[in-house]
Amino acid sequence: MKYTRPIYGLCMYLCGMIEKLLRTVYINLQRETIYIPSQMITLGTLLDYDSNKTLVDVLGFDQMRCLRYYLLVDKGDNRVGRNIRNDLAHLSESMKISLNRNTPIQLLLFLNSVINSLVLYYINKADI
């Protein structure tokens, strides 16, 4: 566990950054329509591609499905998904076993993908 402490901290930071970016953009885009307390918006509601059309427009359906698969567990009964975010938050046994140097690289890739989508969305929005 001694070797994985820095990796665990970095992974928690990257997951938090992804969630914070999505939450900030969602609140920014919805502020004209409805008031949403920021503490009421969870990653599950942000990545709910069936009901969150705001972020589907920003990230795209496929990217939201991919993020939901890796960061959470599917909302259905079949429990499909890697659940990285919750396993990190609760430091589950499966995370202790699977935590390695590739995990922060994977999360950094997700963060980079979200940032790129946000930049493209706001560039295209500015052209209108």
What is the residue extent of each domain of the chain? 4-127
Q: Is the pLDDT of residue 74 over 80?
A: no
Is pLDDT of 5 > 90?
A: no
Please check the confidence at residue 2 and state whether its pLDDT lies above 60. no
* Averaged pLDDT of the chain: 89
Query: What Å distances lie between residue 85 and 13, 76, 113, CA to CA?
Result: 10, 18, 17
Question: Cα torsion at 24, 83, 99, 15 (round to 10°)?
Answer: 0
Buried b / exposed e across 63-81, counting CB within 10 Å, b at 16+?
bbeebbbbbbbeeeeeeeb
CA atoms of 91 and 84, how far apart (whole Å): 10
Q: Percent of the chain having pLDDT more than 70? A: 95
Q: What is the distance in angstroms between the CA of the first residue and the CA of the last residue of the chain?
A: 51
50 vs 40, higher pLDDT: 50
∠ CA 51-47-79, rounded to 5° = 100
Residue 1 above 60 pLDDT?
no
